[in-house]
Copies of this chain bind each other. A is one copy, B any other.
Amino acid sequence: MLRIGLLGAGRIGNVHAQAISDHPESILAMVSDALTESAEKLAATYGAEARSSSEIIGDPGIDAVLIATPTDTHSDLIEAATLAGKAVLCEKPVDLSLDRALACQNAVAASGQPVMIGFNRRFDPGFGSLKTAVDVGEIGAPELLSITSFDPAPPPIEYVKVSGGLFRDMTIHDFDLANFIMGELPVSVSAVGTSTVDPAIAEAGDVDTAVVTMTYADGKIAVIKNSRRAVYGYDQRVEILGSGGLLQAQNVLENTVVKSTAAGVISAKPTYFFLERYMPAYRAEWDAFVAAIKTGSEVPVTLADGVAALAMAEAATRSVRSGAPVQLDEILKPVAK
C-alpha cells in the first residue's frame, strides 16, 4: 500500500484525492495547501492529516507525492521531493520557464526518482483506443493529425494573466497528446492566434483562439485548433488520417437521449468541462502511476515529456509573435532528452 502526500488542495487536488483514496493500493495520508483550511477540510474528508509541504516531503512514511500546487512551485517541489527519495506525480505544466524546467529535469535525473507529469488525456479511453489503433496499423502510416480542443468558457482574467498564455496553459495538453499519438516530436511549430472571445484577454497580452501547425521529419503534419469558448460544452476531438483510413475520437456526450420534434433532431451536448469528461482519465492516470511505482517500470509520461510539451508551447508563443515557423531544435537544443 502506497502512502501518498498530496500537495495542493484546490479543485484539481480534490480530483486527485478521490482517485488516490479509491485506489486499492494507495492511501491518502497527508495533504498540504497554502490555505491551511483547505488542506484540513480535504484531509478530514479522507481521514488524512493536514501538514505543510515540507513536512510531507520530509516524512519518511510517505512513498510518493502528488503535486497539484500553483505552477510556479512545481519545479521546486519536484526537486525537493525527488531529493527526499519520493516518487512524484506532478500536474502540468512543469514550469512556465523552459530553462527552469530543464534545470529541474537535470536535478531529477541526478536523484534517480521517477517523476510523472499529469497529462491526463493520454489516459482518456477514447484517445487511448485511437492511439492503440494507430499503433497496430489500423489506418496504415499516419499522415495528418488534427486536434480540436475548445474550452466551454474562458477562465477569469486574473488567471489568464498568470497562466503563461494559451499555449503553455491550454494547448500544452494538445501538444502532449500530439506527441503521444505521433510517437515523436515535430520539427517545426507554426502558430496563429487572435483574441476574438474577450478583448480583456488581448489586453492581457494573450490570445483566445489559435491554430498551431506542426511538421515532422518524415512529412507528417499535425494541426491543433483551440478556443477558450465553445458555448455547447467541452469540445475535445482527435482525428488522424493515414494511408489506410481515418480514425476519430469523438466527443463524449452527456447522455444518449435524442429528441425529434418540429424543431429538429436534438442530441445531448458534450460533457461540460474537464472534470466531467476526464474523470475516468484521472483515475486511469493514477492507476498507471501506482502500477509503475509498484513494479519499478518507467512512468508512462516522463518529465522529458513535460519539458517537450513546454518547449512546443514556447515555440508556438514565439511563432505567433514573429509570424514565422519556429524549429523545435532551436529551443530544445541544449537538452539531452
Which residues of A pack against B, CB within 8 Å? Answer: 22, 125-126, 129-130, 133, 138-139, 141, 143-144, 146, 148, 150, 188, 190, 192, 194-197, 209-211, 213, 215, 218-221, 223, 225, 227, 229-233, 235, 241, 243-253, 255-270, 323-325
Chain B residues with CB under 8 Å of A227's CB are 143-144, 241
Partner of A265, one of B188, B194, B243, B266: B266
Contact B196 A215 (CB under 8 A): no
Chain B residues with CB under 8 Å of A146's CB are 148, 225
Contact A219 B190 (CB under 8 A): no
Known contacts: A219-B209, A257-B129. The answer to whether A246 contacts B250 by CB under 8 A is: no
Contact A247 B259 (CB under 8 A): yes
Q: Please tell me how many copies of the chain the complex holds.
A: 4
- Jot down 9 A-B pairs with beta carbons below 8 A, ordered by A: A133-B257, A144-B211, A230-B241, A231-B262, A232-B245, A245-B260, A247-B258, A249-B257, A266-B267
7 closest A-B pairs by CB: A245-B261, A194-B219, A232-B260, A250-B256, A265-B267, A246-B260, A196-B219
Chain B residues with CB under 8 Å of A245's CB are 230-232, 259-262
Known contacts: A196-B220, A209-B144, A324-B324. The answer to whether A261 contacts B190 by CB under 8 A is: no
Contact A261 B241 (CB under 8 A): no
Contact A264 B256 (CB under 8 A): no
Contact B266 A263 (CB under 8 A): yes
Contact B196 A231 (CB under 8 A): no
Nearest B residue to A241 via CB reads B227
Least CB distance, A17 to chain B, in whole angstroms: 14
